[in-house]
Chains A and B, each alone.
Chain A
Amino acid sequence: MSPLNVKTKSRLSSRVQDIQPSGIRRFFDLASSMDNIISLGVGEPDFITPWNIREASISSMERGFTAYSANAGVLELRQEITKYMYNRFDVDYDAETEVLVTVGASEAIDIGCRAILDPGDEVIIVEPGFVSYSPLVSMAGGVPVSVGTRIEDDFKVSAEQIRAAITANTKALMISFPNNPTGAVMLREDLQEIAVLAEEHDLIVFSDEIYAELSYDNQHVSFAALEGMKERTILISGFSKAFAMTGWRLGFVMAPPDLLAAMLKLHQYSLMCAPTMAQYGALEALKSGMDDVERMKQSYKQRRGFFVESFAEMGLACHMPGGAFYAFPSIKATGLTSEEFAEKLLYEEHVAVVPGDIFGAGGEGHIRCSYATSMDNLQEATKRMKRFVSKHL
């Protein structure tokens, strides 16, 4: 034990201390302390995992599939994943050397960063974006560099914006479309110019396509499907959003063999393998879950229609989100900051939304509202928000 009069070094690493806790956390604590709230703050489907998937997982346990799987995941599942990704998104990967089943897409981002970053390497992160990107880059020793998108551009990112952030240290680019929190999508021609830039500057591109199935107006285009991009893409996806399997913690990453082997090394030391019973559920999801995906997608699309129109009635500008299940309206007309808006809305009307600034650059002045909740909740929430906004306009 160290003497009391000696100032000891913190037992925590400076790297961890430098990372800020997620702003989501503070809001979660606030919202949890109140009763009768309607939450539009949930970043996951409101459906329960379809029964056939749950049943398949239960059955796998009954049959005794409770041991470790191969590090990269059950081979049959990896084969189904490659088939599915080929059929749905026109990307062609080898199940044995280019696919790794991870513990959620988050793990894939984590090991992807750790696999490629040396201290000081910069990663351009397109924001607003998922809250984990920047901390995961930092924890891997890299330097996150934000590029903010804007409502005027429907929250798409242009090659120009990215080019302006490139330095001699830029190693990689992190994009995610359909986007959480904006719901933005990028069409083939939008992605094409990014591809040219990636080629030009020899960037590795993390493309987090976890919301790919939830594209409502256009067929999703995978970044890895663009000509020449597979070689430099770390394609990340998973089962959470499309199949309503968030709690199963099951994602996957697809990448060229050298990158994948490096990620597999990290995965094998820190996790060994993704939970076997979850993998058997996922196998069933891919084999017979597409009708359920379509059913849920239709339902989100209808709720999107209802929800986005009601912002116009409130007098808040909102772009039409092409995917995911979030609307990201501007609240600038109220003169409040995102945090003030969200906090007051919670206290005055008991509706929980997430302030946009916690999703990084370009998020301030917006709030993220998830429409993955029942129509009854959406109707009541929009009624309350209308009342709230009319008071503050």
Chain B
Amino acid sequence: MTDKELEILRIIEEDARIDLNTLAKMTSINEEEIKAILKKLEEKKVILNYSTVVDWSKVPQAEQVTAMIDVKVTPKRGVGFDEVAERIYRFTEVQALYLMSGAYDLQVVIEGKTMQEIARFVSEKLSSIDSVISTTTHFQLKKYKHDGIVFEEGEEDRRIVVTP
């Protein structure tokens, strides 16, 4: 990857909505070249999506529960963990899925409307998969920071207005 591509990635990871003109000035790369770089990175699936970080806890209609589930599984000959992982991540409730080192194998992040909904998912869908040996479910109580963004107080500018 070139330095230019890297610089653009770093900037749009922070602000996906930045306009082309500003991006061009910031990087001293012209707009056409930036467009080409973005297109290439999208095609290569380096850039997967331009999403928004939302604090859903501030939206009363959208109350939801997030759980992290530690899953122990029996890997299958030939495909290892990939096959069971795919069976799990295809559920739309699954927000994230990671293969982990340590005490368990897969970490599943689930979002649901209620605890019951998540409990049902775990008992009916997850535990019933053949290679799943055990599950441990942890409910998230509060989000302090997500994707590098602190959810509560913004850090205001405390500097005095004119200094030497």
Residues of B12-63 contacting chain A, CB below 8 A: 15, 18, 22, 25-28
- Mostly, the B contact residues are loop
**Of all chain A residues, which has the CB nearest B155?**
A48
**Interface residue from B28, B155, B162 paired with A42 (Cβ < 8 Å):** B162
Which residues on the B side are within 8 Å of A39 (C-beta)? 159, 161-162
Which residues on the A side are within 8 Å of B25 (C-beta)? 305-306, 309-310
**Of all chain B residues, which has the CB nearest A354?**
B162
**Of all chain B residues, which has the CB nearest A374?**
B157
**Interface residue from A42, A131, A309 paired with B160 (Cβ < 8 Å):** A42
Instruction: Please tell me if A22 contacts chain B, counting CB pairs below 8 Å.
Output: yes
Instruction: Please tell me if B142 contacts chain A, counting CB pairs below 8 Å.
Output: no
Instruction: Tell me, rounded to whole Å, the shortest Cβ–Cβ distance linking B70 to chain A.
Output: 29
Residues of B127-164 contacting chain A, CB below 8 A: 155, 157, 159-164
Which residues on the A side are within 8 Å of B163 (C-beta)? 24, 28, 41-44
Q: Are A375 and B162 in contact (CB under 8 A)?
A: no
Q: Are B161 and A375 in contact (CB under 8 A)?
A: no
Residue of B10, B25, B27, B164 with most partner-chain A CB within 10 A: B164
Instruction: Please tell me if A91 contacts chain B, counting CB pairs below 8 Å.
Output: no
Instruction: Please tell me if A219 contacts chain B, counting CB pairs below 8 Å.
Output: no
Instruction: Please tell me if A130 contacts chain B, counting CB pairs below 8 Å.
Output: yes
**Interface residue from B7, B28, B159 paired with A46 (Cβ < 8 Å):** B159
Q: Are B26 and A41 in contact (CB under 8 A)?
A: no
CA–CA, A28 to B164, complex, Å? 10
Which residues on the B side are within 8 Å of A303 (C-beta)? 26
Known contacts A42-B159, A48-B155, A298-B10: A306-B22 contact under CB 8 Å: yes
Q: Are B26 and A24 in contact (CB under 8 A)?
A: no
Instruction: Please tell me if A352 contacts chain B, counting CB pairs below 8 Å.
Output: yes
Which residues on the B side are within 8 Å of A288 (C-beta)? none
Type the 1/0 row for A308-321, where 1 means its CB is closer than 8 Å to any CB of B. 01100000000000
Which residues on the B side are within 8 Å of A32 (C-beta)? 160-162
CA–CA, A302 to B27, complex, Å? 6
Residue of B10, B15, B28 with most partner-chain A CB within 10 A: B28
**Of all chain A residues, which has the CB nearest B18?**
A375
**Of all chain A residues, which has the CB nearest B15?**
A375
Known contacts A48-B155, A375-B22: A24-B161 contact under CB 8 Å: no
Residue of A31, A42, A48, A352 with most partner-chain B CB within 10 A: A42
CA–CA, A307 to B39, complex, Å? 26
Instruction: Tell me, rounded to whole Å, the shortest Cβ–Cβ distance linking A346 to chain B.
Output: 10
Instruction: Please tell me if B11 contacts chain A, counting CB pairs below 8 Å.
Output: yes
Which residues on the B side are within 8 Å of A22 (C-beta)? 164
Residues of A267-315 contacting chain B, CB below 8 A: 298, 302-303, 305-306, 309-310
Instruction: Tell me, rounded to whole Å, the shortest Cβ–Cβ distance linking B128 to chain A.
Output: 44
Which residues on the B side are within 8 Å of A130 (C-beta)? 164
Instruction: Tell me, rounded to whole Å, the shortest Cβ–Cβ distance linking B49 to chain A.
Output: 22
Q: Are A27 and B11 in contact (CB under 8 A)?
A: no
Known contacts A302-B27, A305-B27: A352-B22 contact under CB 8 Å: no
Which residues on the A side are within 8 Å of B160 (C-beta)? 28, 32, 42
Which residues on the A side are within 8 Å of B155 (C-beta)? 48
CA–CA, A310 to B25, complex, Å? 9
Q: Are A131 and B161 in contact (CB under 8 A)?
A: no
Residue of A46, A303, A309 with most partner-chain B CB within 10 A: A309
**Interface residue from A37, A48, A132, A310 paired with B161 (Cβ < 8 Å):** A37
Q: Are A131 and B157 in contact (CB under 8 A)?
A: no
Q: Are B159 and A28 in contact (CB under 8 A)?
A: no
Residue of A27, A28, A39, A302 with most partner-chain B CB within 10 A: A302
Which residues on the A side are within 8 Å of B7 (C-beta)? 298, 302
Residues of B at the A interface (CB closer than 8 Å) are 7, 10-11, 15, 18, 22, 25-28, 155, 157, 159-164
22 residue pairs A–B, Cβ–Cβ below 8 Å? A24-B162, A27-B162, A28-B160, A28-B161, A32-B160, A32-B162, A39-B159, A41-B163, A43-B164, A46-B159, A131-B164, A302-B27, A305-B25, A305-B26, A305-B27, A309-B25, A352-B162, A373-B157, A375-B15, A375-B18, A375-B22, A375-B26
14 more A-B residue pairs beyond the given contacts A41-B162, A42-B160, A44-B159, with a C-beta to C-beta distance below 8 A:
A27-B162, A31-B161, A32-B160, A32-B162, A37-B161, A42-B162, A42-B163, A43-B163, A44-B163, A48-B155, A180-B164, A302-B7, A305-B28, A375-B26
